[in-house]
């Protein structure tokens, strides 16, 4: 018999526990958003944990799924199966994922305000681009997070794509027009002019749901499509988009796009679709570079646009688009707590606008550069800008 059986049993328990643990063998490194070690939540909104997930733990949590997440205290762990790397996590949290073995990739983040957080789990590339998209990926939503934005079923017949000659741009450009089912006044309908025109397909159902619930009056949404590079054009699509949207990035292109909006799109919407001609009933909406476009356009034309919804604004040069700021334009600006490249600029924009006598409000979501946050601001801005009539009757479910 062992001289100290109790000690042997104790040591055996420790060894068994170590063998069964999910913790990786290597020490975990906590890095800040700039990639520097020694990150703490006292100084940063989030810290990425390198080496926090091993192959066995990731595989166990994935099971048969191709991507998954789990929460432990203030840490979110994320794993994915991808046959080919590198794999990058998008969008509320953005980083390269670690290859932990075979076809498994993983990462982890310690988050401040994790109970309020809403995070999309979107490791890219997707294994099947045809059947998978951002909406089908898992989402974490903490108990204190805002509820998901509601979306109504919408008939395809109410969305129209128009290929315009775009004389100002010297080549054709598409716009997408969403028409509400029952406008209050079919000859003077509030209009949202939207950057990244394809988003009209996502935002139309949001506007429908809000109108059916009597939270807003029905609105028209006009999405301005961006340009794809022509054959032989060395410029990327993102660079062409930046030229359309960013003040002082490519001024000739910016001004041409502005003329296209003011001289071609607005008259079409007002004459053929009953879009409002009143500034207070025209809203500009955009995300990221599109947020910069919405702000600079409203600064330059406060007589044309009275409402701005700008999510994840990150281009302070946009504030130089006008020497003055009208107090008649309402700027609703948001940014994610977990997007350090955009939150400071969004905060600074609100400070400058309000100090100049303008109206500006900042909402900081416990999220990041994500459509989840973008659509939250879109819905809240619509609700503030275009409340439903007092005699509105909600649609029955």
Give the structural domain span for 84.
27-141
With a pLDDT cut of 70, the percent of the chain lying above it is: 91
Work out the pLDDT band at 185, boundaries 50, 70, 90: confident
- Domain for residue 325, yes or no? yes
Do 92 and 183 have their domain in common? Answer: no
**pLDDT confidence bin for 17, thresholds 50/70/90:** very low
How large is the average pLDDT for residues 367-396?
A: 95
Same structural domain for residues 172 and 230?
yes
Same domain, 111 and 185: no
Residue ending a domain, among 96, 117, 141, is 141
pLDDT exceeds 80 at position 286: yes
Taking residues 349-357, what's their average pLDDT?
98
Residues 50 and 199 in one domain: no
Report the percentage of the chain scoring pLDDT > 90: 82
| CATH number of the domain encompassing residue 367 | 3.40.50.1820
What integer pLDDT is reported at residue 72 of this predicted model?
97
The verdict on residue 329 lying in a domain is yes
| Residues 212 and 288 both lie in one domain | yes
Q: Is residue 225 part of a domain?
A: yes
Report the domain count for the chain.
2
**132 and 80 assigned to the same domain:** yes
On whether both 118 and 254 belong to a single domain, the answer is no
Q: Is residue 229 part of a domain?
A: yes
In a domain, 377, yes or no: yes
321 lies in some domain: yes
Predicted pLDDT of residue 231: 75
Paired tokens of 54: 């091993």
Q: Which of 141, 168, 192 delimits the end of a domain?
A: 141
Are 85 and 168 within one domain?
no
Q: Report pTM.
A: 0.90
- Indicate whether 22 pLDDT > 80: no
Write down which residue in 90, 109, 141 finishes a domain. 141
User: 217 and 281 share a domain?
Assistant: yes
Predicted local confidence at residue 389, as pLDDT:
92
127, 235: one domain: no
Alpha carbon distance 176, 162 (integer Å): 6
pLDDT band for position 186 (cuts 50, 70, 90): confident
User: Considering the domain boundaries, does residue 166 fall inside one?
Assistant: yes
Cα–Cα distance between 180 and 391 in angstroms, integer?
Answer: 18
147 is a domain residue? no
The reply to whether 166 and 314 lie within a common domain is: yes
Q: Are residues 133 and 218 in the same domain?
A: no
């Amino acid at each position: 018999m062992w001289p100290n059986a109790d000690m042997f049993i104790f040591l055996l328990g420790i060894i068994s526990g170590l063998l069964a643990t999910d913790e990786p063998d290597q020490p975990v490194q906590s890095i800040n958003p700039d990639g520097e070690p020694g990150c703490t939540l006292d100084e940063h909104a989030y810290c990425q944990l390198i080496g926090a997930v091993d192959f066995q733990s990731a595989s166990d949590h994935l099971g048969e799924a191709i991507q998954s997440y789990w929460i432990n205290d203030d840490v979110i762990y994320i794993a994915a199966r991808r046959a080919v790397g590198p794999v990058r996590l998008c969008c509320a949290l953005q980083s390269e994922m670690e290859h932990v073995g075979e076809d498994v990739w993983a990462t982890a983040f310690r988050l401040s305000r994790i109970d309020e957080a809403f995070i999309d789990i979107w490791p890219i590339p997707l294994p099947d681009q045809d059947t998978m998209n951002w909406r089908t990926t898992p989402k974490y939503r903490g108990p204190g997070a805002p509820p998901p934005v509601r979306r109504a079923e919408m008939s395809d017949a109410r969305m129209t794509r128009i290929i315009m000659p775009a004389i100002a741009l010297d080549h054709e450009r598409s716009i997408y027009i969403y028409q509400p089912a029952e406008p209050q006044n079919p000859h003077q309908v509030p209009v949202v002019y939207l950057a990244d025109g394809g988003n009209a397909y996502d935002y139309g159902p949001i506007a429908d749901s809000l109108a059916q619930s009597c939270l807003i009056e029905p609105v028209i949404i006009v999405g301005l499509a961006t340009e794809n590079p022509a054959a032989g054009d060395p410029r990327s699509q993102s660079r062409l988009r930046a030229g359309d949207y960013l003040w002082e990035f490519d001024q000739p292109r910016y001004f041409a796009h502005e003329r296209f909006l003011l001289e071609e799109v607005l008259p079409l919407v007002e004459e053929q679709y009953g879009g409002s001609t009143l500034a207070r009933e025209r809203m500009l909406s955009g995300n990221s570079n599109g947020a910069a476009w919405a702000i600079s356009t409203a600064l330059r034309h406060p007589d044309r646009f009275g409402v701005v919804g700008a999510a994840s604004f990150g281009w302070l040069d946009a504030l130089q688009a006008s020497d003055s700021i009208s107090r008649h334009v309402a700027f609703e600006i948001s940014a994610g707590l977990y997007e350090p490249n955009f939150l400071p600029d969004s905060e600074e924009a609100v400070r400058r606008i309000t100090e100049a006598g303008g109206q500006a409000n900042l909402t900081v979501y416990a999220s990041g550069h994500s459509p989840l946050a973008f659509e939250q601001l879109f819905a809240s801005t619509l609700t503030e800008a275009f409340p439903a009539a007092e005699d509105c009757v909600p649609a029955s479910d």
